[in-house]
Each structure stands twice: as structure tokens, then as C-alpha cells.
Amino acid sequence: TEHPLMLSVNGENIHIQVMADTPLLLVLRNDLALNGPKYGCGLGECGACTVLIDGIAARSCVIPALGVTGRAVTTLEGLGDRDHLHPVQRAFIEEQAAQCGYCLNGMIMTTKALLDRNPSPSDREIRQALSGNLCRCGTHIEILRAVQRAII
């Protein structure tokens, strides 16, 4: 059976019906057509599906959508778009930090959460914050440079 779900996504109030065990990621991608968050492992281990919940980075593949009732969810789309890029998005583009790009949603959202709580992190703090976000292409150096650029 379906249950009513009310939440805010990128500043918009959403009312939909969801199954009890539907992960937030599937609601975002399938019901709301927000494809910034990616489906990677589906197990909470890679970070590709990261969104912000009340400003905190969270893995939307393992969070039941009903668990975020009444909360404010921000996806990559909520940071900025082509015409109004968020400084973190701009920095990742300028440093050409993407190879395949699949991890970048998680890298950018985790960076945004990091800079919100610590506006000038050290390299060590950046590495620590992003250590749970997996990148198979090995563009870690470019990603580190992008975060450093976003700080300035």
C-alpha cells in the first residue's frame, strides 16, 4: 500500500504517494525527474546518490522516502543550473574534475555540505570529507583542486 509523503525538494513543497520501503533516491529520480543524484551501489557505500537533508549530506539510496517526511531535501539541481552555477559546480567544471562524471554528484554535494560547516578546510579535511565518495576513474587530484578552487 502507498502512503502520503510531504517534503520540500529544492525549495518546492511536494505531496506524493510512496510505498513504505521506496528509497528517497528512486522518488527523486523516478517521480520527480531529478537525475542529479545517481544510482551507484544502492548500498550506501559509494556516495553517488548523495543529497542534502536539512543541509547534511546523506545517501538517498538507503533512506526510505517516508523517513524524510517534513524535511528539506536539496539535490544537485537545487544548487544551480547552467545559467546560474553554484561556485562549487563552477570550480569542478573549471578544474575539469570529471572523467566519467558518475561520482561528481556525490563529490559536489559532499563538498557543499563541507564548505557550509567549514568554509576553509585544509587539504586533509577535504580528503577526509570526500573519502567515502568513490571515484573509479582516479581523478582525485583534479577533484581536490576543484574543492580548493571553490574555497577561494
Distance CA 87, CA 89 (A): 5
Whether 131 contacts 140, CB under 8 Å: no
Q: Which is nearer to ligand FES, 48 or 115 (CB)?
A: 48
Q: Which of 24, 28, 47, 91 binds ligand FES (CB under 6 A)?
A: 47
Q: Which is nearer to ligand FES, 39 or 85 (CB)?
A: 39
Q: Which of 7, 34, 48, 104 binds ligand FES (CB under 6 A)?
A: 48
Rg from Cα positions in the chain: 15
Distance of closest approach, residue 83 Cβ to ligand FES, in angstroms: 29
Q: Which is nearer to ligand FES, 45 or 94 (CB)?
A: 45
Q: In the range 60-79, which residues lie near ligand FES by CB under 6 A?
A: 61
DSSP 61: T
Is residue 45 near ligand FES by the rule CB under 6 A? yes
